């Protein structure tokens, strides 16, 4: 029996989760999460220094909830998201984790945030029930699509991988947020855009930058074209009414998803994976899931449970357990460092 405590602080979600593992089964004992949306909404996006301040306030509160029913000395390992992410938030999380590791005299699994999104597909968020870790058919093509990342990988197994492509500018989720801001819809933009798009009765054509060139993504030109389209409509009609907002939301969302799925289909032809994983915050979008199942036929597609698509401590804890099962050694607290940008050597 192994107990792992997972801590997440890469962006604006403070998360701590406790799991119990036995062979290829796990039981979730706690999954505590505090969102910072209200803190950052007035600014239209995440403010790194405010995120760090909220983590400092939230993490002790979340840990106390777990301490009420569980003796932390029984923990075997800590697992901590070391990046990529917002540096102030990561540093604040590191300070909390190192102090806890020293106090408990425990080793740490440093977890890549993108790796945690991949591993999020293997379990469901079911408290106090034993569940089998889902088997994934390898090799697998993995797309992490979120507010900060749009990266594609080819995994031969749980640990051996190579990166196939990434965004060269804005991430898909970031583009949806910026589109919502252009439309005056608030933050976070992705869920609002999804809601508005469902009401659309028409759509507009938008460009798909870098579509035919390799497996990298580019959304900056699309964002500029979207802004120009919105300004043209305002100039012609005045303020946007609900019908136009819905049409514009659908147009932006549909174009972003078509770019993503075109690149995945292109990678499938080259690498012939046995499965596809689409994960990260944007993967919670039901329209993306429907489009993926329609466009990517004859291959198994895995999505995380919707509430596990965004950042949380459970994804970090299960990542630590999968590393444990694959005989990856944890590290002493003096070996832990954080990194705001992706380092491929850390995706292990």
Rounded to 10°, the helix 87-104/48-67 angle is 30
Query: Is residue 42's pLDDT more than 80?
Result: yes
The reported pLDDT for the residue numbered 345 is 43
The reported pLDDT for the residue numbered 212 is 86
Report phi then psi at 93, rounded to 5.
-65, -40
Query: Is residue 342's pLDDT more than 90?
Result: no
The confidence band for 182, taking pLDDT boundaries of 50, 70 and 90, is very high
Residue 44's alpha-carbon distances to 11, 40, 61, 102, 342, in angstroms, are 14, 7, 26, 38, 24
Share of the chain above pLDDT 90, in %: 86
Classify strands 150-155 and 161-166 as parallel, antiparallel or unpaired.
antiparallel
Report phi then psi at 144, rounded to 5.
-100, 110
Contact indicator for 150, 264 with CB cutoff of 8 Å: no
Burial 278-317 (b: 16+ CB within 10 A, else e): bbbbbbbbeebbebbeeebeebeebbbeeebbbbbbbbbb
Cis previous bond, 84, omega within 30: yes
Taking CB atoms within 8 Å and a gap of at least 24, the contacts of 333-337 are 333/97, 333/98, 333/101, 333/102, 333/107, 333/108, 336/80, 336/82, 336/94, 336/97, 336/98, 336/108, 336/110, 337/82, 337/94, 337/110
The pair of three-digit structure tokens given for residue 261, joined into one six-digit string: 């799925």
Torsion-angle region of 83 (φ positive above 0: left; ψ -120 to 50: alpha; else: beta) = left
Query: Is residue 334's pLDDT more than 90?
Result: no
Rounded to 10°, the helix 220-237/242-271 angle is 160
DSSP-derived letter for residue 104 is H
Question: Tens digit of pLDDT for each residue in 280-307?
Answer: 999 999 999 999 999 998 899 999 999 9
Taking CB atoms within 8 Å and a gap of at least 24, the contacts of 304-310 are 304/117, 304/120, 304/121, 304/279, 305/120, 305/123, 305/124, 305/125, 307/125, 308/120, 308/123, 308/124, 308/125, 309/117, 309/120, 309/279, 309/280, 309/281, 309/282, 309/283, 309/284, 310/13, 310/281, 310/284
The confidence band for 348, taking pLDDT boundaries of 50, 70 and 90, is very low
Cα 288 from Cα 100, distance rounded (Å): 39
Whole-number average pLDDT of the chain: 93
Query: Is residue 86's pLDDT more than 50?
Result: yes
Contact indicator for 145, 48 with CB cutoff of 8 Å: no
**Closest residue by Cα to residue 96 from 111, 80, 112, 75:** 80
Q: What average pLDDT does range 68-74 have in this prediction?
A: 97
Question: Tens digit of pLDDT for each residue in 123-172?
Answer: 999 999 999 999 999 999 999 999 889 999 999 999 999 999 999 999 99
- Any idea what the Cα angle at residue 346 is, between residues 309 and 73, rounded to 5°? 75
The reported pLDDT for the residue numbered 344 is 52
The reported pLDDT for the residue numbered 134 is 94
Q: What average pLDDT does range 66-74 have in this prediction?
A: 97
The reported pLDDT for the residue numbered 163 is 94
**Do you know the residue count of the chain?**
348
The confidence band for 39, taking pLDDT boundaries of 50, 70 and 90, is confident
The reported pLDDT for the residue numbered 347 is 47
Q: Going from the N-terminus, what domains does the chain have, and what CATH number goes with each?
A: 2-125+307-346 (3.30.420.40), 140-304 (3.30.420.40)
Contact indicator for 319, 114 with CB cutoff of 8 Å: no
Question: Tens digit of pLDDT for each residue in 214-263?
Answer: 999 999 999 999 999 999 999 998 889 999 999 999 999 999 999 999 99
């Amino acid at each position: 029996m192994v107990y792992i405590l997972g801590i997440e602080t890469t962006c604006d979600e403070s998360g701590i989760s406790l799991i119990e593992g036995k062979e290829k089964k796990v039981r979730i004992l706690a999954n505590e999460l505090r969102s910072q949306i209200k803190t950052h909404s007035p600014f239209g996006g995440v403010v790194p220094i405010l995120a760090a301040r909220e983590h400092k306030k939230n993490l002790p509160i979340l840990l106390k909830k777990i301490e009420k029913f569980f003796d932390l000395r029984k923990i075997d390992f800590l697992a901590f998201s070391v990046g990529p992410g917002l540096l102030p938030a990561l540093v604040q999380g590191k300070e909390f984790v190192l102090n806890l590791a020293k106090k408990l005299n425990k080793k740490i699994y440093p977890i890549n945030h993108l790796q945690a999104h991949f591993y999020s597909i293997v379990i469901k968020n079911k408290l106090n029930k034993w569940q089998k870790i889902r088997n994934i058919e390898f090799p697998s093509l993995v797309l992490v699509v979120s507010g900060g990342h749009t990266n594609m990988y080819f995994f031969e197994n749980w640990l051996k991988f190579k990166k196939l492509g990434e965004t060269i500018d804005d991430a898909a989720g970031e583009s949806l947020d910026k589109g919502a801001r252009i439309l005056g819809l608030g933050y976070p933009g992705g869920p609002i855009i999804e809601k508005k798009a469902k009401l659309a009765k028409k759509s507009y054509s938008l460009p798909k930058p870098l579509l035919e060139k390799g497996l990298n993504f580019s959304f900056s030109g699309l964002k500029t074209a979207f802004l120009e389209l919105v300004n043209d409509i305002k100039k012609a009609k005045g303020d946007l009414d609900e019908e136009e907002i819905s049409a514009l939301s659908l147009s932006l969302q549909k174009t972003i998803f078509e770019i993503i799925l075109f690149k995945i289909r292109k990678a499938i032809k080259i690498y012939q994976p046995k499965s596809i994983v689409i994960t990260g915050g944007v993967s919670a979008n039901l329209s993306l899931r429907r489009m993926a199942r329609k466009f990517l036929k004859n291959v198994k597609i895995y999505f995380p449970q919707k509430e596990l698509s965004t950042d949380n401590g459970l994804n970090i804890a299960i990542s630590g357990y999968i590393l444990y099962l694959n005989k990856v050694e944890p590290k002493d607290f003096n070996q832990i460092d954080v990194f705001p940008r992706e380092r491929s050597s850390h995706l292990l």
